[in-house]
Structure formats: C-alpha cells, structure tokens
Amino acid sequence: MDHNALGRPARGTARVRAGLGVAAVLAIALPSLMPTAAQADPANSAATMQWAAETLAPGVQVRTGTIRNVDVTPTWTVAVQSPGVSRLTGAATWSEVGTQSWADATERKLRDAGFQPRVESVRWPDYSDAPHGVMGLRVRVGSFSTQAAAQSAAAAITSAGFHASVAWTGYDIQQPADRENVHVALIDPRVFNGTVEGTHGGNVAQRKTTSSVAAQLNSLVAVNGGFFVTSDADGVQGTTSGLGAYDGQLGSMAAGSRAALILGDGGSHIRVADLTTTVTARAGNSSYRIQGINRVPGLVRDCGRTGTTPSDLPWQDVTCRLTDDLVRFTPEFGADLPTGPGVQAVLDASGRVVSVGARVGRVPAGGSVLQGIGGAADWLTTHADPGSRIRVAEVIRDTSGRRVELDDDDSIVSAAPTLVKDGRIDIDAVAEGVVDPQDLSFGYAWANVRQPRTMAGVDRKGRLILATVDGRQTGGSEGFTLHEAAEFMRSLGAVQALNLDGGGSTAMAVRGTLVNNPSDTTGERAVGDTVQVIPAQAD
C-alpha cells in the first residue's frame, strides 16, 4: 500500500483544481494519489473510483470521491425482527438478527401464513475483541423495486402477527454498496501555516453546525467532532458525552477508556490514543473524586464512570445514573447551572470558596462551580467553607499509563471506537461500548450496518487525515460499516485512526461551506464540538 496517498502530485503530473461547491465537478481517476477502488473497498475488486481535487493552501488538500459498484443492485425488502430483552435495562427489544431456533420457527410460521421467507446468515466483522464467525441469522421476505411496495408487504406481514420493518439491502455488510460519496482532507503540519484545533466555540453548553463554526473562524476545512447530548432528558444539549479539551482546558471527562484525537501544539503533533481522565477535588487533607465536568449531576451520557448504573463501562447512546456525584463547571459552561437537590460551591479564579448553597445561577467569569449530590453534597457541606480553598487536580492518561499534559494550544476530541492502530485494523468495539455480543439488539445497526461516518487519522508522516462518507441515501450514498471505515482509513495511509460522531452529525465544510450531503432531512445538524483547520492570520 502506498503510504504517500493524498500527497502532492509528482512532477509532471497536472494539478487538478475543482470548485467543490460547483454542481458539475471535474471527476478524474487519481490512482497515484489515492487508494484504488479495491483498496478502498477490499471486498469488491469490481469497484471504480473517481476523484475531484482541490488544494486550499500549502499543506492542505481536499478530495471528493465516489466509489461505485456497477454490478450491485440493491433492493427494498422486509426484515422480520427477533424479540429480546436489553441486557442493560431489562426492557423489551427487537433485533434484525436472531438465533437459529428463532429463524427456523419464524421461517416456518411465515410459510404457514402464505409468505416466502429467506434466511440469511450474518457474520461478525473482524473486531479485535468480539467473537468471530456467525453472529446470527435474519429472516427476510421479498425483493421490491420501491419502498412503497416493501411497506405494503411489511404491513401485511405485521397484520399476520410478526414484527416487521422495511430494509434497504444496500446497507448490508454482506454485499458491497453500490455507491459511496466520500470527502477526504489531508493536512501536513510541516507545511501548513496555521493551526488545527478541536473547539466547542467557547461555550460547551451549545450546539452549532460545523459549517457555521467554520465560517466564523475562517477555516479552510472543518469536520464534526465527538458525541454529545441531544436530548434534555439526558442532560444539557450540546455538552460532550466523552473527553473534550479546548485551549488546553478540560471541557468534559472521558467515558471510560475511549479513542481520542490529540491535537498537540496547535495541530503540529497529532496522535490517536485511548484516554482516561481522573479529576480530584481537595480541601485541606480531604479529597473527593470528581466524576464529571460540565454535565448534569447524576446523568452520565455514554456511561463509563465509576459507580454509574446500570454499568460503569462505556455504552454508546446510553444514559447512566449516579446517586453520588461531584461535577465541576468551568467558565465555558455558558448556560444556567442545573438545578435540583444537592449543594453547590462557587469558587473564584484561585479556587477560594465564595459561597455555598443551592444549585442555581451561572458560572462566574474566571471562576468555577462544584455541584454535588448524595455523598458529594455532604462532602461539600463539610469542607467547602467560605474563604477556604478547594484545589482541583486533573490527570489524563493513555492505556500505557503515559500522562497527557495540556498546554494552551492543545485540544482533544474523542469518540469511539479505535479503527486503526500501528498500521493495522484494530477495532475494539466491545471495550469501547459500541456492540454487545450478548445482546444483538445493542449496536447492531450502529456498527454493522452502513451509516454516514466521520473519521480522523494520522499517517506515517504525521499528516492528519479527516474523512467523511455520506449515508442513509438510497440510490445516493450508503455509508460505511465500522469495519469499512477502518479499511478506508487504512487505504488512505492512516497508521492510527478513530471513528468520530456520525449519522446525521457527519459534516465537512470547506472554506465555511458544507460540501457533503447530511442524512438529516432538516439539513445540517447542530453538533457539540468540531475539528477546525484554521489558516494563520495575516500580519
């Protein structure tokens, strides 16, 4: 594999420049600069790939690509769902994949009801920590050229007593996608005269579109960042549900040990690593563990904190709870503080306690607030005396135990899971809480079905690769599974890579203009943090 993928054109090769916002884009094959179609989609050597290229600045290059599989013709079908029980919550669930006995019984019942089902085997992708071989079986009925026809068939199957849904076979991992639209940016920190940073726009309690932040910062390229809270029931919307650090300050804490993109020295030094955070408050000789930064006490999106229920391990898109919780709020929390039972201590810039009382108000300029519930409230009541000082220590470590120190020009954006490690595909999907081998209703569609994705990685030369693939667009672009995302990043030369937030959050902006096609029907989604490639300011 050519690890110089996405590099500058060799001498004698014409540089292609195409306006990405123009409808008619010059599409050309660039085999010497980009992966071949077989590399980008190893399962299907018949794929073809075309690229449009644009150089935005020295050291910053963007390419738009389309992977096509002309021999693949997806169709609509009806998927019969297998009943189950959530291993986490005990709630009833449905899954497209079930056991052999369920598949056999369901096939027989469908035939008795006058339908013609088919049973398909589904295998585990090659995750580093999941089982191998057959995951389970699914039962489907029919092949339809239109969604309406499939919906009509699904209604008839439902009326016969089955739990049925409509599915598009182009999203299946078992066959190649017929079309995938990708955008790839390569940033060479040795050449680029500017910075790359993760940012929450100065307010961790807000949501903004990737392109609007890019326009505000005059960015050359921007992509959406990590996972964030999207519902008031799960906390304050926009707050990050994993590790986030901006301008050298923690804006949120890690959900267990999960993948993170570390942008050191303004993007001059970049790496991907699984990171954990430990934060401790100390008053005199007494200390107390802080379990959150800038989130609602008691609500932990994506879990992964000590004492959370129903699990203290990372679980994607699950909100766990803590009855004993100490949370720190920084000046970047630009919203009203969460209210409710418990106690808060307001601190000045030096950590001196200004007041102790009910949970109310806002974070003072330059200061901070500690809110506690349960035992943490008792600790604050006992130790947060007005005029006394509470010191807060923050520690970030990778899985080797190496401490990550933050300076003012460092930032971190995290999500899950790891895709590429040491140049090899290495997806720790179970450990990072995106699939559960014991509960196939959890994470199956999120990880193993094609979805819009945003990815980030680093190549052997230390260059940052940012990539997006559009998805959920039947007849347009179908997206990647997690494993396909890892294969694609590795084909681009990434030796380290991670999956960022995806789905409707997936966005890439070039010069402040959105260039991909988001899957949300309402347009570009407002997100939590973003990764921005910002040119140096003119003197």
Rounded-to-integer distance, Cα 332 and Cα 55, Å: 35
* pLDDT band with cut points at 50, 70 and 90 for residue 17: very low
Position 538 scores a pLDDT of 57
CB-based contact 311:88 (threshold 8 Å): yes
User: Residue 104: is its pLDDT beyond 60?
Assistant: yes
Whose structure tokens read 């995750």? 127
Position 331 scores a pLDDT of 97
CB-based contact 266:243 (threshold 8 Å): no
Position 28 scores a pLDDT of 30
* Token pair recorded at residue 8: 């500058």
Position 15 scores a pLDDT of 27
pLDDT digits (tens, 9 = 90+) for 192-204: 999 999 999 999 9
pLDDT average, residue stretch 115-138 = 97
Length of the chain: 539
Strands (E), 229-294: 244-246, 249-252, 258-264, 269-283, 286-290, 292-293
Position 348 scores a pLDDT of 97
Position 476 scores a pLDDT of 86
Instruction: Give just the sign of the alpha carbon dihedral 294, 300, 304, 305.
Output: positive
* pLDDT band with cut points at 50, 70 and 90 for residue 483: very high
How distant, in Å, are the alpha carbons of 79, 337, 470, 538 from that of 331? 49, 11, 36, 30
Q: Where are the domains of the chain?
A: 76-171
pLDDT digits (tens, 9 = 90+) for 362-373: 999 999 999 999
Position 12 scores a pLDDT of 30
- The Cβ of residue 300 has, within 10 Å, a number of other Cβ atoms equal to 29
* pLDDT band with cut points at 50, 70 and 90 for residue 475: confident
SS3 140: strand
User: Residue 118: is its pLDDT beyond 80?
Assistant: yes
Position 46 scores a pLDDT of 60
pLDDT digits (tens, 9 = 90+) for 81-95: 999 999 998 999 999
Q: Which helix (H) or strand (E) holds 108?
A: helix 100-112
**Nearest-5° Cα angle at 119, 114 to 124:** 155
* pLDDT band with cut points at 50, 70 and 90 for residue 474: confident
**Residue 482: DSSP 8-state:** H
Whose structure tokens read 């009833």? 92
Return all residues near 240 (Cβ < 8 A) that are at least 6 apart.
Answer: 200, 204, 225, 226, 227, 228, 229, 251, 252, 294, 414, 528, 529
* Token pair recorded at residue 209: 């579109």
Task: Return mean pLDDT, the chain.
Answer: 91
pLDDT digits (tens, 9 = 90+) for 21-48: 222 222 333 333 345 444 455 445 467 7
* Token pair recorded at residue 504: 């409707």
CA quadruple 32, 37, 38, 39: dihedral, nearest 10: 60
